[in-house]
Amino acid sequence: MADVSFPPVSFDTHPSRYVHWVLSVEGAVATMTMRVQEDRPMWPGYELKLNSYDLSVDIELADAVQRLRFEHPEVRAVVVTGGYDKIFCAGANIRMLASSTHAFKVNFCKFTNETRCGIEDATTNSGQTWIAALNGTASGGGYELAEACQEIYLIDDGNSAVSLPEVPLLGVLPGTGGLTRLTDKRKVRRDMADLFCTKAEGFKARDAVKYRFVDGSFTRSKWAEGVKARAAAIVAAATPREATGFALPPVLPETTADGFAYRSVKVQIDPVARTAALTILAPTEAPSVGADTWSLRAWRELDDALLRLRFNYLDIGLVTVRAVGEAEAVLAHDVALDDGSWFATEVRFFQARVLRRLDNMAKSLFSILEPGNAFAGSLFEVVLASDRSYMLADDDGANRVRVTAASGGRFPMASGLSRLQARYPGTPELGVRVLCEDNWIDAARAEKLELVTATPDAIDWDDEVRIAVEERISLSPDALTGMEQNLRFGGPETCDNKIFGRLTAWQNWIFQRPNAVGERGALKMFGAPERAVFDYRRT
């Protein structure tokens, strides 16, 4: 059963159904206008005042980021701005956060972070440069949205400012990567970042430009002209893309007796065991160009399934992952993406984003490899992303996998490493040897190459897998989340790595502390006439 602490979340939307955003495209320039309807929150109980946002607002933004890449490849600049006078965005809605469960707060922050990483990915890999045109004050998550853009411009009207007021006002961290992007991306000095994050009113245009919190400003009389000129300059400097986009149809699962299912992905839920079985079906049709080809459609289904598991099934602690069908068909679809076209490139970048979403699941992941498995090429990345992998050692060697160049860096982790590099921190030569195999690998060879965790034979298979699952489920979920997050985010530190491996962990902790969420905590007392009450002992 789905979690009943809040209504199930659906991530399906379309520009024609957007409530809080307006997407317009004129030639090579797209404009995303944030016009949040305060009386249309995701759930009753709060109002979305001052262009503040909840999950429904960010679901629409995530949808737009994706659609621009596939439906409008001609776009070279995306301007994101506010739809109301003197306010860009007040950030995440405080009443929504204060009334949410701890799990929802953390998952909300994680999703908004992934959306903002998607904006940066679009700028870097699709040549769609995002520009934040702050037509008014941008505070908290509003400024964090701006930070995800390549350039930030603030209106100089004597009143509008940028700020990250979470620490002084709410007793929590700027949870959408704000701290990390200040220092790692915008190269703000640590002392100025410290001042900025504790100065609730923030900085107006002159000082915001001086200390690199924004890239520039325009007076009110020159605002529209200045933003338009900057977008035009970015388009002029960009490489034009001669491509025709295509519509992305809805990705909606059918409800089944024990879970939900799409055409190529199905999920079975066992609420008593607190496990889910996720199965990916290999393609049965030839590769094509368009939304219905397996390389895009099945991975969109996987992405949606991961989000539904994350938000709607909080009690599920472990997901077993299987891929079944013709592995050769998976490889054929991978090869079809080698032609260097904009479509092939976008699909690969999307698959990489889905795999990073998989890395970020706060659930244990066990890959199960049995005869007839389709873990080859791009799908073998799922095995490498799992916390453990069990491969049946069959007598005739029919249980095989295939590692291809897809694992050689095509799908980088948040650290920038390939999952194959991350697998062999002390023996990198093994990763090189695996990439040179260029053949099917049976269980005995997979064990020798250290590609899987264990290779039980048929006699021990059922018991060993069952015991491993039961043991995992019996452990503390908090300890497991901390352990998995540390192990999955090894390697060099990058901006993304810090956001998901460090910042998210700290925010997770702070969101449970009485200083933030207690009856007299800062988050609960926001807007009240009394001050928050803190326990001032620091550890």
Which residues are known catalytic residues? 92, 141, 144, 166
From the number of C-beta atoms within 10 Å of its C-beta (0-12, 13-18, 19+), residue 196 rates as buried
DSSP string of 257-320? TTEEE-SSEEEEEETTTTEEEEEEEPP-S---SSTTSHHHHHHHHHHHHHHHHHHH-TT--EEE
138 HSE (CA, 13 A, CB side): 28
Which residues lie below 8 Å from residue 311, measured CB to CB, with a gap of 6+?
A: 3, 8, 9, 104, 107, 111
d(C-alpha 325, C-alpha 285), whole Å: 12
d(C-alpha 264, C-alpha 200), whole Å: 49
Which amino acid is it at 280? Answer: I
Residue 375 token pair:
């873990």
Cβ atoms of 295 and 337 within 8 Å: the answer is yes
Name which of 50, 161, 147, 144 is nearest 95 in CA terms.
Answer: 50
Distance linking the first and last C-alpha atoms of the chain: 40
> Residues, the chain, total?
539
d(C-alpha 162, C-alpha 362), whole Å: 32
Phi, psi (deg, nearest 5) at residue 518:
-70, 175
From the number of C-beta atoms within 10 Å of its C-beta (0-12, 13-18, 19+), residue 443 rates as buried
Q: How are the residues of the chain apportioned to helix, strand and coil, as percentages rounded to the nearest 5?
A: 45, 20, 40
Cα angle, residue 60 at apex, residues 57 and 63 outer, rounded to 5°: 150
The alpha carbon dihedral of 410, 414, 416, 417 has a sign of negative
d(C-alpha 235, C-alpha 31), whole Å: 13
Which residues lie below 8 Å from residue 1, measured CB to CB, with a gap of 6+?
A: 269, 271
E strand map for 466-525: none
Q: Which H or E element spans position 530?
A: none
Name which of 165, 55, 36 is nearest 101 in CA terms.
Answer: 55
From the number of C-beta atoms within 10 Å of its C-beta (0-12, 13-18, 19+), residue 492 rates as exposed
Cβ atoms of 379 and 358 within 8 Å: the answer is no
Give residue for tokens 């990705």.
251
d(C-alpha 38, C-alpha 54), whole Å: 10
Instruction: Tell me if residue 69 falls in helix, strand or coil.
Output: helix
